[in-house]
C-alpha cells in the first residue's frame, strides 16, 4: 500500500484520481478546502465510499493558499502514515480575461493558488520524503505553460512559472531520490472552464479596447465549446487521471518529465524539441549528475 496525497479533490481530476488510486489499493488523502463548509457535501460523498467499498480514502482539510492549513495537513499525514510515496499537486484555478483589466492583487491571487500553493504543499512534505529517500511529486500543469494565446495571460503566467519551478526542482531533488514530473492537460471538460474568475475591471479598462478584441474572445469561447461538444475530441478528464496513475506506477528513474494529455496545439512537438536542450543546459554547466534520479 502506497500513501498518496492529492490536492484539489472537490472536483475534476483530483476527485477522480483520488478515488481511482484508492480503489487500486492505495491509501489516499483526498484534500480540499472547506471540508466542513462549502465542500462538506463532496467530503461526505467520499467518506461514504469508504464505508460502502472498504477503500482507504481519507478526506482531509487543506487550503493550498494557507501556510497553517497546509502544514497542519502535512503533520496529520506524516503522523498517521509516514512520508507520502506520492504527492499530486492538482489544486488550481484559471483566471481568464484581458490582462490589463486584472489588478495586481488579482494576479497575485492567481499565482498564490497555482504556483505558491504548489510550493507550500511540496515544501511541507519534502523533509519526510527526502529522509525516506524516495517519492514522486506530480505537478498538474497545463499546455498553457508551454504556449500562450490572448485572454489567458494571467493563467499562462502561473503555468509557465510552474513549469520552470518543476524543472528546477526535479534537478535539485534527483540526488535525494524524489522524482518530479509535470502533467500538461489540454482543454478538458472540468469545472476549471466556466468557473475561472474574470477581472473585476473596476476602472473599465476592457471597454477601451477595440471591438475586435471582445469579438475574438467570443469566438474563442465558441471554439472551446465546440471542442467540448465534439464526442470525437479527447476531452474526457479520465484520460488525465489515467496518465497520472501510469506515472505513479512507473519505476523510479523511468518517468518522463513532461506528459501532455489531450488536445495539445503543438505542445508535444515543443516538449520533444526542448528535452535534449534541457539536458544540454545541465551538461554545459557541469551539472550532469542532477539529470539522473538516484534510485
User: Do the domain assignments include residue 275?
Assistant: yes
Range of the domain at 22: 3-97+110-198+234-291
Q: What is the reported pLDDT for 194?
A: 64
Q: What is the reported pLDDT for 151?
A: 96
Cα–Cα distance measured from residue 261 to residue 263, given in angstroms and rounded to the nearest whole number: 7
User: Do the domain assignments include residue 207?
Assistant: no
Q: What is the reported pLDDT for 192?
A: 67
18, 69, 81, 141: which one is catalytic? 141
CATH number at residue 65: 3.40.50.720
29, 155, 182, 259: which one is catalytic? 155
Q: Which residues of the chain have pLDDT under 50?
A: none
Q: What is the pLDDT of residues 3-37, one digit of tens each?
A: 999 999 999 999 999 999 999 999 999 999 999 99
Q: What is the reported pLDDT for 274?
A: 96
Q: What is the reported pLDDT for 258?
A: 98
Which residue shows C-alpha cell 554547466?
Answer: 285
163 close to 142: Cβ distance less than 8 angstroms: no
Cα–Cα distance measured from residue 86 to residue 89, given in angstroms and rounded to the nearest whole number: 10
Name the nearest CA neighbour of 175 among 135, 133, 136: 133
Please say if 158 is a catalytic residue: no
User: Do the domain assignments include residue 271?
Assistant: yes
pTM for the whole thing? 0.96
Please say if 159 is a catalytic residue: yes
Q: What is the pLDDT of residues 34-44, one digit of tens each?
A: 999 999 999 99
User: Do the domain assignments include residue 209?
Assistant: no
Q: What are phi and psi of 232, to 5 degrees?
A: -90, -5
User: Do the domain assignments include residue 192?
Assistant: yes
Cα–Cα distance measured from residue 256 to residue 72, given in angstroms and rounded to the nearest whole number: 32
69, 142, 158, 159: which one is catalytic? 159
User: Do the domain assignments include residue 40?
Assistant: yes
Whole-angstrom CA distances from 262 to 144, 153, 213, 266 are: 13, 21, 27, 11
Domain count, the chain: 1
User: Do the domain assignments include residue 224?
Assistant: no
Q: What is the reported pLDDT for 51?
A: 86
User: Do the domain assignments include residue 184?
Assistant: yes
Amino acid at each position: 500500500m502506497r500513501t498518496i496525497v492529492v490536492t484539489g479533490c472537490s472536483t475534476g481530476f483530483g476527485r477522480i484520481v483520488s478515488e481511482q488510486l484508492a480503489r487500486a489499493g492505495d491509501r489516499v488523502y483526498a484534500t480540499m478546502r472547506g471540508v466542513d463548509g462549502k465542500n462538506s457535501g463532496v467530503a461526505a460523498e467520499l467518506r461514504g465510499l469508504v464505508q460502502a467499498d472498504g477503500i482507504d480514502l481519507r478526506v482531509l482539510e487543506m487550503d493550498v493558499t494557507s501556510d497553517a492549513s497546509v502544514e497542519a495537513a502535512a503533520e496529520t499525514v506524516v503522523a498517521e502514515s509516514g512520508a507520502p510515496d506520492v504527492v499530486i499537486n492538482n489544486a488550481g484555478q484559471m483566471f481568464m480575461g484581458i490582462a490589463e483589466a486584472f489588478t495586481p492583487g488579482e494576479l497575485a491571487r492567481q499565482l498564490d493558488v497555482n504556483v505558491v500553493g504548489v510550493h507550500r504543499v511540496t515544501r511541507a512534505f519534502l523533509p519526510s520524503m527526502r529522509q525516506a529517500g524516495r517519492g514522486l511529486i506530480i505537478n498538474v500543469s497545463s499546455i498553457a505553460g508551454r504556449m500562450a494565446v490572448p485572454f489567458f495571460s494571467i493563467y499562462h503566467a502561473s503555468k509557465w512559472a510552474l513549469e520552470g519551478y518543476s524543472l528546477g526542482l526535479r534537478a535539485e531533488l534527483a540526488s535525494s531520490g524524489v522524482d518530479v514530473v509535470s502533467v500538461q492537460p489540454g482543454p478538458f471538460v472540468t469545472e476549471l472552464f466556466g468557473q475561472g474568475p474574470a477581472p473585476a475591471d473596476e476602472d473599465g479598462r476592457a471597454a477601451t479596447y477595440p471591438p475586435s478584441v471582445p469579438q475574438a474572445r467570443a469566438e474563442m469561447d465558441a471554439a472551446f465549446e465546440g471542442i467540448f461538444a465534439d464526442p470525437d475530441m479527447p476531452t474526457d478528464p479520465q484520460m488525465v487521471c489515467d496518465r497520472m496513475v501510469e506515472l505513479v506506477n512507473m519505476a523510479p528513474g523511468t518517468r518522463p518529465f513532461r506528459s501532455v494529455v489531450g488536445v495539445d496545439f503543438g505542445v508535444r512537438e515543443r516538449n520533444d524539441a526542448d528535452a535534449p536542450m534541457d539536458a544540454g543546459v545541465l551538461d554545459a554547466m557541469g551539472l550532469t549528475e542532477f539529470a539522473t534520479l538516484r534510485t
